Each structure stands twice: as structure tokens, then as C-alpha cells.
Structure 1
């Protein structure tokens, strides 16, 4: 008892510095024990936010009305059966749109970032691995991230995520890191204009991904480094196949090899034939590695369509030479860049004016022009029996344009762009997620030191992914056709979606901003009849969901079917408000159904009850936190969730990273401090059962 008392006294001295620490104790059955709530306080106002690019408040002016304006009344004559429809796409999945997460920020978007000021911590991992340092898994998965992924999986069946990017090229998998870190950055690559750091990480990152998949149906692409083929680092492939199993979709071997030379990673003479030879070295090493049993899931060449075009790689004989190793063919593309503003000393020239480029994203022509250079490659991929992927994309490289990439206009653009890719026979596309210095993120967690009083920020493009998943449904049989609506007007595009061979949905866009309502348009839909050779097929009524905002320049007041994910710093990943599905009565005698599309807006028209039910989940699994140390912006957890999946794995997680300029220092580990309850247990000489999950504020 003397020893225990001395030990308790030593802890009391520590508590003088950290008096507001609290502990959640998990019993051996996963039940939640009473929590020390002494740290809750309402005596001070929430600190003011100081500002980062992902949270900028720049609002641009919506472009002027086009002159001439498109017609506000037009018709669409459709066939109910896909049998005679010309130009239909290949069959598509509702999970067509997924996410590409920069490897260095994966802990920020999928883990709680623990720090001395992080106050709400959730433990939502399963006990599939014990950490050699602490003897239990210490991964914290962000409930808002799980909620967002759950929204997609409930509609699309699953969500596909790639972890990689520029930082995968310098990534090194190690057995352990000091202080229990899972990931840290070594140094900045000064030869790279984006200042990409070297990443060092442990297998706990991959276990974290596996834990996410256990909670939400998530599949992963993982990046494998190719920066040094003389000293290959294939440990990430070994660990990924072993840990992720069927949740691993593929391994991206090399990221944007056509930019290797420009980034100083290869000689100026580096060519597609050089890449062909280096790819052979890695393929052979994988074939010789018994720890990599799956050898046909490589994703390549992932060119940026900069110095090289995909055909430069195809012309080397790449596909037939490596067909047995390739799981999919991939490219990466951004239609513009904001590099001059992001890196003013890197020689990119004068920065571009976001207001000037804004209008470039607000037409159907944008998506068509982006996709056009890849039409030949998508055909080659089909002929080769390979999926063709847009592996990384977003509005503009180097973080996007403030006021453009985070506007409602970007949501309409990304949705139209995604549908155009699907129509053009891509098999999937991944919207990139960067750090807090990027404006184009579909979702962004709060800065590390603001997690106690701020929640997440949902970018407008997340609504694009949500609407895309409902447009395509979850049967994996959807086929699209661009209807070239309204005289092929670039401001009012439309797509028909056939599912299982029958007409199921219509996707209608209006890129114009006009608060007067004068440029809202009404489309008269007719199914069958006329000279189609099919009987009248217009239903008695249709259902419509709208993606709406007051202006294309709007950043926060965005709704999907009347629901929103919340304003900046106010999202927990769950839709807020009541869902609003409009019912439109049709005139079956005239074989017409009139649907209105506001300016601006997107309308998803469900032509059958089955299509609506498929895209309208009755309930969505949600996740929330149990530790409450603030009274602002906190949520609660269902104890059954922890008890049945992960109630015995609480521990603080450290180690954050970012590829964004100005955020290149390795994060520090948090300090673990016991609560008063722990001291009392020590003084009494009791043994505390279970695992301690601690949050500090």
C-alpha cells in the first residue's frame, strides 16, 4: 500500500498540470463504465477560427446569364427499353465515384487527431491486432468519416477509396516508430514543387483501414512506391494483401510517372520505354515474392496526361506485356491548376484569378472536354478486358481554387463530369482529398487543436458523390446515355439511366444562376409512343430529388432532397433535416410528364417505384463519439456499437501528416494522463480491468 500511495502521489503532481483529463474505462465485456465528467465547462466562449484554405470564406460572384439563354421549355422523347438505344455505356456501379486520400493525411480523415487540446475521442476499432508497444490496438477512427462512408454504402452498396498520391512514392513501411507513432514525415523533397515529404509508417495504418472495412463496406486501393526500383520497398504490398484480404481492390504501382522527370525523380530523358522497363523490374520482384500471393491486381500507368498521353504508354506494348499483372488501367487528371498561388516561388508564373476561371466549370462542355482525350484509351481498355479508372481527379491541382472548388458550382460540375466519365466507359473515378491547405476536399476534419469545439466541414463535391450513387443505384447494371438535351445546350445537360435494360432514372442539370426564376426550365418527358415503335410508357407519376443551392457561388446552404450535412465546422457526417421527395403527376393521355429544374440545380427523376426504393435507404447506420469533454458540438455513441465491435481497444492515437505546403512537420504524441478515478483505484490497491481510453482537453 505504501508503494501504491507513493505512486498515486506522483500521479497527483502530474494532474496539477493536466487537471481536466478524463478517462473512459471499458470493461472486459465492452460495456462503458461511468466517465469522469469534471472536464466539461461552459464558462468561456468557443475560440475563434484563424483560417486555412480548406475553411476559407471566399464567395465569388455567379457568372452572368448566358446570352442567348437556353430555352426554358423543351421535351425529351425516351424509349423504355435499352435494346434499341444508341450509345449506351457499359454497365456501371453506384460506387463509381469514390475518394482518393493523400497517404500523408489518411490519419487526419480517418482517425481522431489526438493532441493536448483534442477533447472528443471515439474508439471504433475492432481487436484484430495488438500493438507490440502498448499491447493493444490504439487506432481511433473518426465517426464523421464512418458516417459519410455509410451514406454512400447504403446507396451504392460500397465505397472505393485509394490511399496514395505523391506521398506514396516516398513511403516506407517500418516495424515501429518512436513514441508509438503510426506515421511521420521525414523531410521535404525540395526538388518537388509540391514539397512532398518522405513518409514513414507502420502496419497499423493498414490495420486501421481494415477496421474501417469491418464497420462500413469499404474497399481499398493502396499506393506502392516506385521512386527507387534498384531498392524496391514491397513491404506495403505484403502487408496490404495479408491484412486487407478481399477488401484490397488493387495496388497502384507508381503515381504520375510522366511527372517523374519534372519533379527531379528521374533524368530529363526519362521516357515511356524507361517506365516500361522499370515496371518489369517490379512485376518480376512481385512474382518472386511468396509474401505477395495475389499478383494480378496492379493499377497502372496512372499518367497525369502532362508530358505523356496514355497512348505513349500503350504504344510500348505495355498492356499485352503485363496483362497478367494488371487489374485495371488508370489515368489521373485535373482540368486546371492553382499552383502559382499555392507555390508562388516555384516558377509557375502569375496566379490565376478564381473569379475568371469560375465560368469554365459551369457548362456541360467542361466534362466533355476533360473526357475526350481518354475515349480511345477507354476503348482500348474494353478490348483488353480491363477496367479503365480515373484514379485521381478534382477541380484543379495544387489544392483547387478558393470560391470555385468549394462552391455549389463545383458540386454540379463534379456530378456532370462523373456522369460523363461513366457514359464514356470509365469504370470508376476517385475525387482527391488533401490536407487543410486544399479547397477542393469533399470532406475535411477540423484542425487538430480545434476538435473540442469544431466538427467537420463537408465540401460541396461530397453531395456530388451522394447524388451520383443514387443516380446509378446499387444493382451494378446501370447504363447511361447523354441525351444532348435542349438542342445540346451546354447549360442544361441531361442523362438517361437504364437499369437492368429498362429506363429507371433521368439526371437533369441547370448550370445557370437566376434568383428570379426566369431561367428555371421545364422538361416534358415522354416515354415510348410516337415513332419509337413502343407503346406509351409514361407512368402516372414520377418522384424527384433535387440538389439545390441559391447560387452556384454558394458554399454552405446546399441541400440534397431537402437535407444538408451542415455548415462549416458543424457536420458529424449525418444528414440533417427531413428528406423531401417531390411527386409529379403525369398526363398519361398526352404521354407527358413535366419536371421543373431550378436555376441553378440538379434534378434526379425516378421513373419507377423500384428505382426510388433502391436509392432511398430506409435507415442508415451511424456512428458517434462517447467521450464528452465539451458541451459544444459533441455527440453520443450507442453503447451496443462499442460492446459488440471494439469496446476493449481504447487508446490515444498519435501521428498526423500532410502533404500540403507549410504542414511538413511530424506530429507529436499525446500525453496520457490518468483520471481521479484511476488514482482512487491505485490508492485502494485495486486492479483495473479493461483498457483505458483517454481524452485530454
Structure 2
């Protein structure tokens, strides 16, 4: 403990004594009911990608259509082919340290986690973010977040920045996706992460800069280890090194052996650094993007050579890219049409084809007893596609993809979070100039994260198998999850969009009994939660167990509405019928939810302890403003812009503190490690 304090205490900011939990408006002001998105042509929308209203056409009902009734025999005892044990934290977040997009001039990490990332704010945390993480924690036990990406390679820690900033970018050429601005940051970034972990159960991956192995910058490890303690999972060494020669970050001859050698240089330097206490099982690589094959790296003995230091083996992968559209240049003629690529996300093979690339690699990792991590992934690199990455179809895709990775013996997968100019974010804060009257936007894949966390639960003993349901029909896949050695849950998909209801299907199942040789294990009744939307193209009206986070700019991180859990009474012949709407997903709980810890009614939420822009700012009821359209004239409100002039009645309550200050000293946090 003494060594931790030795390095942490000199870096303590004066403001650390308390944690301010920030929000744009009091938590008591709830989002309005979700309303359907309007359609818009992609070329006609000029705003930020995160709020793009483009709606695509859903694919037609397949011809021939999937059978709408089928039987599935199940077994209560574990069956051959189960995955390794999985945890509820399987799906986590990959947060870009800063943002490539030139329209985002400040670090996205600060916007996501804290208020006003230009200033020292490790003690000023965003309420919606804490609530969103709390939702995941309550279902899966904990959450894993990676802070890094392309921008980790040029990041440099400095003790302070002008005007008490915590992040600053230095302009560089941004003509390609990985030629990113150099990033300067202060230890306050790491204190911010520690403060998040003091309130919600989050563990962190960080990245060691690797742009110049002749002049290493190891401060991220020195400070990160001291400040985060046992909340630090591992340091990523190299972000997509197979992309380095493509973007002139290394010579064209750079290959797997070169990367392994450089990994060794950083490993040795960390071990020689007296300020770094632990290197064994603290590094992670190679984080390939797909330019090299994993076997290329295994062939140079990467794992045996670095086994002592490896915490996990990692990869990064996106099934497609929108780079030609975003960056233009010589590939501008190869822009992908979102409507054309949309169907490729809407069947079971989408996840299977990705997972299949890594089956031999996950098997290899198991022989070394190493976790296998998908360090960064989402629908498509360079921000995703409008109408695809922000549609209900992406939620079904991400859910099926995550379960398929788990079945293929990955241990963690991190969905990437970018800035305002990407389509695929699980969550997006409002632009800073709208933060006083707009709330957060929750992306469809966040619903996928909730469902995956519930599918695996908190036992850390869940094993999953692909059931190849409905004669292995690619539009109606299903999985079985065994927990603690017995069948616990079913995960059932329907990718088809059919408003008529004729493509809804009914799966009949039995557990044991009959010719199986087992005693009958079919329960008298089961519970079902549904992930639903009107269409795979829908952006709004997405619900998980009847709850929603609303449309764009409507969420404070808490689900809206009462949770709806359906009860299905099973048949007298020891079978059960489960209906899955088209489109939709059903999570079937085969055991009593309360006794197995699968009920999430009491999720911890966080109160706002401070409001922004309370001086010299017109204070308007956000609900009234949203409905006003600016045409109510003098009768609209009694607005005041001068300090001290506001009335002390209900009209002024939107400007007050709501809730208590949350206190947490850094010494206490470190002693608790």
C-alpha cells in the first residue's frame, strides 16, 4: 500500500476531496415518451451522425419464409459443446481516448464521463453515465471499460495544462483514420476513472503509447497503476499494429515479428521502471484488426515469448467500414450504400462468420489459460452506417454477435464509443452548447448490452451453446445458457420484419423426458423478457422488458416505464411454447428469477448534485421548451438572466441542487484497494 501512496500522493488535485455528480437538468425531470423517428434521406441530413434520422427499408420477408412452429429438445444437464464459463460483464465499452473527428475539438472521454472536459473535473461526474453503468452492473455484476484506441498511441501525460485543462489535442494531419492528433492529458483523467469506480463497479483497460519505441512514454502505467490499483485490468500494448505500415506509422516491411519485438521492448522497460510495481499478467496484445491473420502472430511464438506478462490475448474487428464516405480520397468511389449492406447484419451468419475467424485462436489461448478479448468492435469502422448502426437491427446483430463470441470462447467484447460524428454509439451525451436543455441519446446496442448481461447473470459460471434452432434457420437462431451446471435460460431471435404478425414464430421445447433418458425437467411456468421494436429499421420505440430510454436527447440514464416480464404457463404434456415476434428477441428464464438473482427492479441510481450554467443563463422548463416551437411570445415564460433575480417558487426549482454531495477522498479510495 505504501508504494501506491508514494506515487499517487504527489499527483492529487486539490479538488479531489469531493465528487460532484453533474447533470444537465435535475434527475427528477424525466424524458418524455418515445416517439417514432421521421425518415430522411441520408444526403439531406447535415447534423451530427449520432442523431441522424435516416431510416432504411427493412428487408422483405425471406423467400421461403422461416417455419413459424418448431420443436426443440433440451437437456437439464450440461451437453457437449458448451462454452467456457462466462460472466455478466462480457459486453463492455471501448471508449476512444479522444476523437478523430475534426468537428469534436475536445476529448470525448471527458464529455462521456464528466462535465466540461476542458477543465479539471475528475470530481465532477455525469449522472446519466453513472446510471447507464449501474443498469449494467446490476445485471452482470460489474462492467469493463477500455480507454484508448488510435489516440492512445500519441498520448502523453503531463502534470498540468493551461487553464487547468485535463485534455488537449495538438493539431496534426487527419487525412486517414489512424493519423490522429497528439493527445496531452493530466493525471486528473485517471483520477476521474477512479472516481467512477468508487461509485459503480467498473474495471479498466488502458493503453501504453507505442508510436515511438525509441523514446517510450510509460507514465500511463506509472500513474495508472498507482491511481487505479486493482481496478486496472491490463495495459494494451499496440492498437491494431497490423495497420501501422498501411498508415505510414512503421515501414512497409513491418510484420508480426517486429511487433512481438516491440512488445518485448515495452515489457522490459516497464520491468525496469521503479515506479511500476506489477508487470506479470498486466499486458495485453496483439489487438489485430484483420490485416494480419492471428496465426501470423502465433507463428512467431508471441504467446510463449510473452506469456509471463500477458493478462489476455486480444483482437479488434469491424465487419465493414464506412471510411470511403468519411475520409474520401482515392477510395471515394468505393462508398458503401447503407441500404445495400443492411441485410448482411440481419441473420445469424453475421456473427458466426466473425467468430469463425478466431476459433483456433481461442482454443490456443485456453491452452495457456489466457482470456481472449475483443478489444474494440462495433457495426462498422469509421463511425458505422446511417440507418444501420443506429437501428433496431443493430441491436439484434450486436446481441447475436456477442452471444456467438461467447459461444466461441471469447471472454470479453468491448463495443466502441466514439464522438458525435459516429452512428454506432451505445450512448451519446448532448453537444455541450445544448447540455442545459437536452439529455442523452441511447443507441440500440446499449439494449443489447443489457440483454447479454442478463443472459449471463452474476454467477460467473454461465456456459452457452448455439442450439441451431428451427433446423438451423439463419433468421431464427437460438441459444441455451447453463448456469452452475444446469439449464437456466434460453435466448431466441427473430430477424424478420413482418407487421402482419404472420412471421412471428412459436418454439415448443421440452427439458428431458421422452426418449432422452432424463427425468422430465420442464418447469410448470417460465418468465420471458422481450427486446422489441416495430421494425429492424426503427430507431425509437425500442423496448427491453417494456422499458425504453426514449428517443434522441431524452435519457437521464434510467429506463422509462414499468418492467414487463411475461409469464408463460407450460403445457400438461411437459412442453412449453414461446412466441418470438417478428422482429424481436426473447430471453426465457427457466428458473425462479427472484431466487436466482435475475430480478433487477432495484437498480442504484444517482442524484444530480450540481447544475451547469445557472448564472446569466435563461432558465426555461425543458418540457415547455420542447413543446413551444418558440411561438408563445410574452406569455411563454417568466425568464430571468441575472443572478439573484429568479423567483423562489416551483418555476425556479430547475436551477437548484437536487440531492446530496457525494464525498470520496483519494486516500480512502486507495486504501480500499
Normalising by the smaller structure, the TM-score range is 0.7 to 0.9
Distance in 2 (CA, whole Å) between partners of 1:530 and 1:344 is 61
Distance in 1 (CA, whole Å) between partners of 2:411 and 2:202 is 17
Displacement of 1:478: 0.2
Q: Of the candidates 220, 223, 248, which is equivalent to residue 239 of structure 1?
A: 223
Q: Of the candidates 324, 330, 344, which is equivalent to residue 340 of structure 1?
A: 324
Displacement of 1:637: 6.6
* Residue 81 (structure 2) pairs with residue 81 (structure 1): no
Change (3 A) 1:371 1:612: farther
Q: Of the candidates 75, 85, 91, which is equivalent to residue 91 of structure 1?
A: 85
Q: How do 1:249-648 residues align onto structure 2 when only pairs under 5 Å count? A: 249-296=233-280, 297-306=282-291, 308-345=292-329, 347=331, 349-587=333-571, 589-610=572-593, 613-628=596-611, 629=614, 630=619, 631-632=621-622, 639-640=659-660, 642-645=661-664
Q: How do 1:110-189 residues align onto structure 2 when only pairs under 5 Å count? A: 110-113=113-116, 139-189=123-173
Displacement of 1:499: 0.1
Determine if contact 2:439/2:553 at 8 Å carries over to the other structure.
yes
Displacement of 1:530: 1.8
List structure 1 segments (4+ residues) > 6 angstroms apart after TM superposition. 28-32, 633-637
Displacement of 1:346: 5.4
Change (3 A) 1:138 1:207: closer
Distance in 2 (CA, whole Å) between partners of 1:475 and 1:144 is 27
| Residues 225-282 of structure 1 deviation map (CA, whole Å, 9 limit, x = unaligned) | 1110000000001100000001001100110000000111001111111111111111
Displacement of 1:635: 9.7
TM-score, with structure 2 as normaliser: 0.84
Name the residue aligned to 1:58. 54
Name the residue aligned to 2:95. 101
Determine if contact 2:18/2:665 at 8 Å carries over to the other structure.
no
Displacement of 1:139: 3.6
Greater Cα radius of gyration, structure 1 or 2: 1
Displacement of 1:576: 0.5
Q: How many residues align?
A: 583
Distance in 2 (CA, whole Å) between partners of 1:495 and 1:553 is 24
Distance in 2 (CA, whole Å) between partners of 1:326 and 1:30 is 34
Change (3 A) 1:220 1:346: farther
Change (3 A) 1:247 1:294: same
Distance in 2 (CA, whole Å) between partners of 1:412 and 1:530 is 34
Determine if contact 1:191/1:264 at 8 Å carries over to the other structure.
no
| Residues 616-656 of structure 1 deviation map (CA, whole Å, 9 limit, x = unaligned) | 2231111232445442167987634x155489xxxxxxxxx
Residue segments in structure 1 that go unaligned for 5+ positions in a row:
1-25, 38-48, 116-133, 648-697
Determine if contact 1:484/1:494 at 8 Å carries over to the other structure.
yes
Distance in 1 (CA, whole Å) between partners of 2:175 and 2:601 is 52
Determine if contact 2:177/2:382 at 8 Å carries over to the other structure.
no
Determine if contact 1:473/1:611 at 8 Å carries over to the other structure.
no
Determine if contact 1:92/1:476 at 8 Å carries over to the other structure.
yes
Select the structure with the greater relative contact order (CA < 8 A; seq sep ≥ 6).
1
Distance in 2 (CA, whole Å) between partners of 1:451 and 1:334 is 31
The SS at the match of 1:241 is helix
Distance in 2 (CA, whole Å) between partners of 1:356 and 1:282 is 44
* Residue 232 (structure 2) pairs with residue 212 (structure 1): no
Distance in 2 (CA, whole Å) between partners of 1:635 and 1:555 is 32
The SS at the match of 1:517 is coil
Change (3 A) 1:526 1:29: closer
Name the residue aligned to 1:20. none
Name the residue aligned to 2:6. none
The SS at the match of 1:531 is helix
Distance in 2 (CA, whole Å) between partners of 1:627 and 1:65 is 51
Determine if contact 1:80/1:502 at 8 Å carries over to the other structure.
yes
Change (3 A) 1:143 1:195: same
Displacement of 1:112: 1.7
Change (3 A) 1:358 1:528: same
| Residues 184-241 of structure 1 deviation map (CA, whole Å, 9 limit, x = unaligned) | 1002244644541110000100000000000000000001111100000000011000
Distance in 1 (CA, whole Å) between partners of 2:607 and 2:479 is 37
Change (3 A) 1:611 1:592: farther
| Residues 280-332 of structure 1 deviation map (CA, whole Å, 9 limit, x = unaligned) | 111110111121111021010001112x1111111101111110010000000
Distance in 1 (CA, whole Å) between partners of 2:64 and 2:483 is 36
Distance in 2 (CA, whole Å) between partners of 1:99 and 1:393 is 9
Change (3 A) 1:382 1:29: closer
| Residues 113-169 of structure 1 deviation map (CA, whole Å, 9 limit, x = unaligned) | 379xxxxxxxxxxxxxxxxxx9x9654211100000000001111000000000000
Displacement of 1:436: 0.6
| Residues 379-436 of structure 1 deviation map (CA, whole Å, 9 limit, x = unaligned) | 0000111000111000000000010000000000000000000000000100000011
Determine if contact 2:115/2:121 at 8 Å carries over to the other structure.
no
Determine if contact 2:73/2:509 at 8 Å carries over to the other structure.
yes
Displacement of 1:553: 0.2
Determine if contact 1:543/1:582 at 8 Å carries over to the other structure.
yes
- Cα RMSD for the two superposed structures: 2.3
Greater shift in the superposed pair: 564-573 or 346-355: 346-355
Displacement of 1:29: 10
